[in-house]
């Protein structure tokens, strides 16, 4: 036997000796014989050592160094020693005026990037006066109907100085076109603006359900956006491939990881089949992950994500190493917040943010303590931003890169997540790929099963949720809540009418006809959509044209 094998034999002997002592001791404390598991219900061993790693585990193959393949330890060479993550608080409520004020408040308090939440009518491609918009205008995000609203939203905010993330999917091409148009009005060309559109329609079919068009036309729109931006908006992240909503729907950490990366590889496949070189677009793909309560499980998830992505993209033989970089934004887990004892949410968010930072995120949103009750108030969102700033400047976690690397526990978790993700990839492939798996309900059923298991563990007191099934209190804690009145809808609809009255409606009609012609043919949709936006066509009008050509998807059928 060689020296390494001799050492492992000795470690196994010592571990067995310790386990005997452990077993005798723990029997004296039956209250500690509970099942120890992660947030995803994965059992955790009492201790980890070198025997929990593969016998052929190789440092360079598994870890390497930051900015070097396989990128397990980070994508930038300096990570936070060179630049902190972007502190990007998600905001959007009421009309463009209210959200513009919130953006300016956050920028004044140290936020370093904007993140826009749109209200449901915009997300579903409806005007604010549409019958289905009744009661929803400005309630869950900012109301945007036309370019006029976007001009107000970014008034006084220099778009060449900040980056903006927009959580929008089916109408992503339209909102991106509006952002380009606003920048041009500020004198900022499209090659100077930076930011992200979520634009992840596969995740919508899997989890969040805010789709409009059927899967294949939706993918065609995304490929058109990727092509257009690679030529005209080179600093723009064309998709934020999102596991966040998969996790919020109830998935495990491994399911979030596997389904998100499967979606990402599907976008790559479509773009390559459309004739693009992987180096033309892959460096501008980004990801969006959830950070849940289990500190170590989340850290392992992010490290595994980088390694898996790099190894799969390498199969496309990229010449640019950045094509293999998995850059990601993180948001703390909204589904973990409780309406009971809401100040507990500050602690939950801090732990979750710490996991994202130790996992190497490029951008972070911390949820506010009141989000289980309402949209965040100004006071609550300031505490959420301060949480990031304290972690960045007072905790010491930014002093060295990937400080948990080499931990037997972390490396074992990372390896297991990679193995289980590859198993999910095989299952999806056996079903015919991502879109056939969606159509067969595979992802949806896996998530539903995991959500049921998690809830069953809470109700059976196998899992403690502080303030819910243990350490609860009858005392009612009041926090100030943000209220959105119906006057917002009245003002929004009035502005929409005024815009339609003042615009050149003949030019709008011509532009919408060009959108229809492109949709019916094979031309890139972005140029005619940009033309329609500049003529002040509404989100609803453009989406209605696309609905007429592509149809509207309702779960499993076309209408």
Q: What are the tens digits of pLDDT across the range 240-291?
A: 999 999 999 999 999 999 999 999 999 999 999 999 999 999 999 999 999 9
**Tens of pLDDT, residues 170-188:** 999 999 999 999 999 999 9
CB-CB contact of 73 with 405 (8 Å): yes
Helix (H) or strand (E) holding 404: none
pLDDT band at 106 (very low <50, low <70, confident <90, very high): very high
Q: Would you tell me how many other CB atoms lie within 10 Å of the CB of residue 470?
A: 10
Cα→Cα distances 41→275, 293, 372, 454, Å:
43, 12, 24, 7
The whole-angstrom separation of Cα 65 and Cα 78 is: 10
Q: Which of 34-38, 120-124, 144-148, 320-324 has the lowest average pLDDT?
A: 34-38
Q: What is the pLDDT of residue 480?
A: 82
Q: Is 211 left (phi over 0), alpha (psi -120 to 50) or beta?
A: beta
What pLDDT, in 10s, does the model give residues 434-456? 999 999 999 999 999 999 999 99
Residue 424 above 80 pLDDT? yes
Alpha carbon distance 266, 32 (integer Å): 45
Q: What would the CATH number be for the domain defined by 88-197+472-559?
A: 3.20.20.240
On whether the CB atoms of residues 268 and 310 are closer than 8 A, the answer is no
Between CA 487 and CA 468 the distance in angstroms is 36
CA 242-257-78 angle, to 5 degrees, is 80
Is there a shared CATH topology between the 26-85+242-461 domain and the 88-197+472-559 domain?
yes
Which secondary structure element, helix H or strand E, spans residue 542, and what is its range?
helix 539-550
CB-hemisphere CA count at 13 Å for 410? 20
| Alpha carbon distances (Å) from 18 to 30, 369, 408, 466 | 19, 43, 17, 33
Residues 280-312 pLDDT 10s: 999 999 999 999 999 999 999 999 999 999 999
**Distance in angstroms (rounded) separating the CA atoms of residues 37 and 39:** 7
Collapse the DSSP code of 120 into the 3-class scheme (helix H, G, I; strand E, B; otherwise coil) and give the result.
Answer: helix
Altogether, the residues listed in the chain come to a count of 559
Residues 6 or more apart whose CB falls under 8 angstroms from that of 528 comprise 511, 514, 515, 517, 518
Q: Write a three-state SS string for 1-70.
A: CCHHHHHHHHHHHHHHHHHHHHHHHHCCCHHHCCCCECCCCCECCCCCCHHHCCCCCCHHHHCCCCCCCC
The CA distance from 421 to 434, in Å, is: 14
Does position 7 have pLDDT exceeding 90, yes or no?
A: no
Region 115-139: mean pLDDT is: 95
pLDDT confidence tier of residue 24, bands split at 50, 70 and 90: confident
DSSP state of 90: E
Structure token pair of residue 429: 């492939």
Which pLDDT score is estimated for 557? Answer: 58
| Residue 535 DSSP SS3 | coil
Residues 188-200: pLDDT tens digits?
A: 999 999 999 999 9
CB 84 within 8 A of CB 401: no
Is it the case that residue 559 has pLDDT exceeding 70? no
User: Under 8 Å CB-to-CB from 288, ≥6 apart: which residues?
Assistant: 198, 200, 240, 241, 242, 243, 244, 328, 329, 330, 331
Q: Which fold does the domain 26-85+242-461 belong to in CATH?
A: TIM Barrel (3.20.20)
Q: Is the dihedral of CA 498, 502, 505, 508 positive or negative?
A: negative
* Preceding peptide of 70 cis, ω within 30°: yes
The answer to whether 551 and 521 are in contact (CB under 8 A) is no
Contacts 24+ apart (CB under 8 A), 445-448: 446/251, 446/255, 446/259, 447/206, 447/207, 447/246, 447/249, 447/250, 447/251, 447/255, 448/250
Over the chain, what is the mean pLDDT? 94
The Cα–Cα gap between 107 and 157 comes to 10
Compute how many other C-beta atoms are within 10 angstroms of the C-beta atom of residue 272: 15
How many Cβ atoms from other residues are within 10 Å of residue 474's Cβ?
Answer: 4
CA dihedral 325, 331, 336, 338 (to 10 degrees): 180
Domain boundaries, the chain: 26-85+242-461, 88-197+472-559
Model confidence band, residue 34 (pLDDT cutoffs 50, 70, 90): low
On the question of pLDDT at 111 being above 70, the answer is yes
Q: Which of 124-128, 368-372, 374-378, 407-411 has the lowest mean pLDDT?
A: 374-378
């Amino acid at each position: 036997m060689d020296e390494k094998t001799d050492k492992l034999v000795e470690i196994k002997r010592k571990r067995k000796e310790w386990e005997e002592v452990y077993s005798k001791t723990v029997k004296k404390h039956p209250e500690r014989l509970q099942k120890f598991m992660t947030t995803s219900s994965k059992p955790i061993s009492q201790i980890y050592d070198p025997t929990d790693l593969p016998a052929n585990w190789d440092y360079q193959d598994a870890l390497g160094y930051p900015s070097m393949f396989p990128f397990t330890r980070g994508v930038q060479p300096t990570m936070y020693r060179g630049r902190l993550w972007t502190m990007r608080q998600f905001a959007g409520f009421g009309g463009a005026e209210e959200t513009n004020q919130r953006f300016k408040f956050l920028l004044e308090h140290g936020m370093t990037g904007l993140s826009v939440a749109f209200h449901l009518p915009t997300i579903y491609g409806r005007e604010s006066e549409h019958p289905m918009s009744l009661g929803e205008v400005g309630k869950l995000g900012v109301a945007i109907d036309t370019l006029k609203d976007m001009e107000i939203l970014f008034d006084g905010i220099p778009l060449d100085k900040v980056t903006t993330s927009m959580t929008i999917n089916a109408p992503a091409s339209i909102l991106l076109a509006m952002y380009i148009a606003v920048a041009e009005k500020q004198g900022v060309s499209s090659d100077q603006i930076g930011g992200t559109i979520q634009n992840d329609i596969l995740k919508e079919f899997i989890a969040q359900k805010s789709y409009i068009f059927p899967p294949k036309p939706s993918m065609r729109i995304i490929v058109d956006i990727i092509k257009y931006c690679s030529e005209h908006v080179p600093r723009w992240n064309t998709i934020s491939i999102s596991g966040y909503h998969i996790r919020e729907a109830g998935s495990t950490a491994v399911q979030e990881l596997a389904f998100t990366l499967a979606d990402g590889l599907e976008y790559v496949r479509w773009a390559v089949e459309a004739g693009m070189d992987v180096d033309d677009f892959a460096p501008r793909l980004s990801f969006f992950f959830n950070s849940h309560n289990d500190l170590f499980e989340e850290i392992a998830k992010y490290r595994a994500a980088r390694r898996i992505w790099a190894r799969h993209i390498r199969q496309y033989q990229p010449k640019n190493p950045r094509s293999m970089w998995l850059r990601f934004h993180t948001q703390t887990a909204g589904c973990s917040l409780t309406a009971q004892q809401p100040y507990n949410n500050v602690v939950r968010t801090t732990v979750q943010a710490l996991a994202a930072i130790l996992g190497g995120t490029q951008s972070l949103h911390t949820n506010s303590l009141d989000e289980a009750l309402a949209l965040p108030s100004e006071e609550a969102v300031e505490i959420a931003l301060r949480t990031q700033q304290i972690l960045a400047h007072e905790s010491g976690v930014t002093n060295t890169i990937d400080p948990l690397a080499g931990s037997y526990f972390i490396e074992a978790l990372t390896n297991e997540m990679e193995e289980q993700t590859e198993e999910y990839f095989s299952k999806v492939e056996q079903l015919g790929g991502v879109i056939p798996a969606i159509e067969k309900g595979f992802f949806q059923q896996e998530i539903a099963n995991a959500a049921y298991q998690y809830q069953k563990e809470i109700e059976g007191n196998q899992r403690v949720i502080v303030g819910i099934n243990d350490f609860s209190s009858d005392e009612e804690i009041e926090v100030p809540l943000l209220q959105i009145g119906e006057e917002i809808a009245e003002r929004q609809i009035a502005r929409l009418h005024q815009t339609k009255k003042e615009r050149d409606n003949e030019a709008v009609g011509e532009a919408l006809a060009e959108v229809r012609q492109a949709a019916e043919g094979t031309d890139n949709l972005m140029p005619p959509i940009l033309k329609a936006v500049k003529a002040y066509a509404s989100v609803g009008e453009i989406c209605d044209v696309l609905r007429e050509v592509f149809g509207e998807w309702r779960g499993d059928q076309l209408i």
